[in-house]
A and B are shown apart, each in its own frame.
Chain A
Amino acid sequence: MLHLIKKDFLIQKRNLAVAVAFIVFLNLFAKQGSTFAFVLSVLGVTYILVLGSGDIEQKNDCNIILVSLPIKRSTIVLSKYLSIVIFAILAVVVDLVVQRVIMIFGLPVEAQTIPSEIIVLSLVGAAIYCSVVLPLTYKFNVMTANVAGGALLLLLLGSSDFLLERIPVFLSDSNISDFQIALAVISFAVVIMLISYLISLKLFKDREF
């Protein structure tokens, strides 16, 4: 499985560079503030890298190579979902580093310490976002998935102000502890990922090459 994830890094060196540039750009120029830039960059970078590897493989029909290797199809699909987590964590780390650099060098851009709940929410958001779109790459192709992903992103962006205002108010008004909220949110993401994985697995197992 680790070889499959390593492969996903190797085949998209260009996408990795674009991802870093995207994070830097958002942090320097996003007018909505550093929290918004952080959330969007984690979401966007995870999506670019997860679907980016799938796009490259579809163009070369590389899944034929993978399916002919001594590896189960379930492992191939599982590695994609594991890569969501890895790419999301990578995006968080790079983003935090960029924000730290901005603070250290005193650049005239808003930068602040990102609260842990925002980090968790970003990871969860990226996981759910990619999990919703990934089965479409197995059913149709990456291009179709990108259209759906784009529509979903527009919806999220359109409601971002509402969500970033209302969710903290709701959470502070409720009697639920931060730990319970985090647990509920993470559990929800895990359930979504599991359902998505099972759908993707069924589709990939039935696929003929």
Chain B
Amino acid sequence: MTLPLRVHNLSKEYKDFSLTDVSFTLKNNSVMGFIGPNGSGKSTTIKLIMNLVKRDSGQIELFGLDNLKDEKRIKQKIGFVFDENHFHETLTVHEMKNVIRGFYDQWDENLFQKYVHDFELPLKKQIKDLSKGMKMKFSLAIALSHNADLLIMDEPTSGLDPLVRSEFIDILKLYVQDKNKSVFFSTHITSDLEKIADQITLIYKGKIIFTRNKDELMAKHCLVRGNPDALDTMGEQMFIGLKKDQHEFVGLAERNDYLENELGNQVSVERATLEDIAVFYIEGVKSHVAFD
């Protein structure tokens, strides 16, 4: 089975920012969370995948096809959700749907109506009168209604309340129950990814820091807190990323027997959230602390 998404050595240069040798692979029937701070290159990467901007070098393959040569064919299989609304504001939900449905060979009107019912979308309302949450739901309904095998979303839950975000996660869980479906979405709300993601890719300043299985990532890392004396004993080199002041240090490390057994009461070892992992990996990059 061909991979839904493969990015290899992707580069793009702007005046004050560059994406450098970005590479990652989305596995079949998996959800990849694409995380990174604002301005790290998430949206640029997604725009390159969707051919909204032109790459300087590298390869992008979707379903084994080049995203430039086979663009039209590929986009039949992709459902795309933007971070902002770009639909024609003066059209109603129904009218906008009718504009878009004509472009998809496998548009499923029954499926769309099902989402209209589930999301309680007001068909006769103009798009400009929809709330932010409703606009996102409409985008999602469109993306899900043409039997897309891959959902690509750029910060789809940004600015949404926790209830709507929870509904969104439930929808994605249902979507990937089909073995042929995959999801790739960027976000900086890592708590959503802890619930749904299979893989995590972290990007910072245009470079990929890691692509890892989420459960392994979270199981492998821990947060270590202690006083500066303990840090002198341990050495900073065992930390992926570290923050310290005169009273305390906090660092991200890989779980090991030394930490958990030998240091004993000198430090506290806690579960690291995805947010902790991302923050401290970036901290490590900033301070050039070595990591794998």
Which residues of A are in contact with B by a Cβ distance under 8 Å?
A: 2-3, 6-7, 10-11, 13, 56-57, 60-62, 64-65, 67-72, 206, 208-209
Of B71-79, B209-217, B245-253, the one with at least 4 CB within 8 A of chain A: B71-79
Q: Tell whether, in the assembled complex, residue A60 and residue B76 are in contact, meaning their CB atoms are under 8 Å apart.
A: no
| B17-50 at interface with A (beta carbon < 8 Å) | 47, 50
Q: Tell whether, in the assembled complex, residue A62 and residue B88 are in contact, meaning their CB atoms are under 8 Å apart.
A: yes
Cα A57 to Cα B71 with chains together (Å): 23
* A70 in complex: contacting residue of B53, B76, B86, B90, CB < 8 Å: B76
Cα A8 to Cα B59 with chains together (Å): 35
Closest to B77 in A: A70
Cα A72 to Cα B70 with chains together (Å): 10
Q: Tell whether, in the assembled complex, residue A67 and residue B52 are in contact, meaning their CB atoms are under 8 Å apart.
A: yes
Can you report 22 residue pairs joining A to B where beta carbons are below 8 Å apart? Answer: A2-B102, A3-B99, A10-B88, A10-B91, A11-B88, A13-B90, A56-B88, A60-B85, A60-B86, A64-B52, A65-B86, A67-B52, A68-B52, A68-B75, A69-B75, A69-B103, A70-B71, A71-B75, A71-B103, A208-B47, A208-B52, A208-B53
* B47 in complex: contacting residue of A6, A60, A209, CB < 8 Å: A209
* B72 in complex: contacting residue of A2, A6, A70, CB < 8 Å: A70
Cα A95 to Cα B89 with chains together (Å): 30
Please tell me if B95 contacts chain A, counting CB pairs below 8 Å. yes
Contacts of A6 in B (CB 8 A): 99, 102
| B83-112 at interface with A (beta carbon < 8 Å) | 85-91, 95, 99-100, 102-104
Please tell me if B175 contacts chain A, counting CB pairs below 8 Å. no
Cα A20 to Cα B146 with chains together (Å): 38
Other than A64-B52, A70-B76, give 6 A-B pairs with Cβ distance below 8 A: A60-B88, A61-B86, A62-B88, A67-B52, A68-B50, A71-B72
Question: Interface residue tally of chain B, by bracket?
Answer: 20 to 34
Please tell me if B54 contacts chain A, counting CB pairs below 8 Å. yes
Please judge, given known A-B contacts A3-B102, A70-B75, whether A209 and B87 are in contact too, CB under 8 Å.
no
Contacts of A56 in B (CB 8 A): 88, 90
Q: What's the least CB distance linking A204 to chain B, in Å?
A: 12
Q: Tell whether, in the assembled complex, residue A10 and residue B99 are in contact, meaning their CB atoms are under 8 Å apart.
A: yes
Contacts of A11 in B (CB 8 A): 88, 90-91
Contacts of B90 in A (CB 8 A): 11, 13, 56
Cα A60 to Cα B88 with chains together (Å): 7
Cα A11 to Cα B54 with chains together (Å): 29
Cα A65 to Cα B71 with chains together (Å): 15
Cα A70 to Cα B103 with chains together (Å): 6
Contacts of B76 in A (CB 8 A): 70
Cα A11 to Cα B128 with chains together (Å): 13
Please tell me if B80 contacts chain A, counting CB pairs below 8 Å. yes
Contacts of A62 in B (CB 8 A): 86-88
Cα A11 to Cα B72 with chains together (Å): 25
Please tell me if B82 contacts chain A, counting CB pairs below 8 Å. yes
Cα A2 to Cα B103 with chains together (Å): 10
Contacts of A60 in B (CB 8 A): 85-89
Contacts of B89 in A (CB 8 A): 60
The 5 closest A-B pairs by CB, nearest first: A3-B102, A70-B75, A208-B53, A209-B52, A7-B99
Q: Tell whether, in the assembled complex, residue A10 and residue B75 are in contact, meaning their CB atoms are under 8 Å apart.
A: no
Q: What's the least CB distance linking B101 to chain A, in Å?
A: 8
Contacts of A70 in B (CB 8 A): 71-76, 103-104
Contacts of A209 in B (CB 8 A): 47, 52-53
Cα A56 to Cα B80 with chains together (Å): 22
Contacts of B51 in A (CB 8 A): 67
Cα A170 to Cα B102 with chains together (Å): 49
* B86 in complex: contacting residue of A7, A10, A64, CB < 8 Å: A64
Please judge, given known A-B contacts A10-B95, A57-B88, whether A72 and B72 are in contact too, CB under 8 Å.
yes
Contacts of A64 in B (CB 8 A): 52, 82, 86
Q: What's the least CB distance linking B52 to chain A, in Å?
A: 4
Closest to A208 in B: B53
Cα A57 to Cα B88 with chains together (Å): 7
Contacts of A65 in B (CB 8 A): 82, 86-87, 100
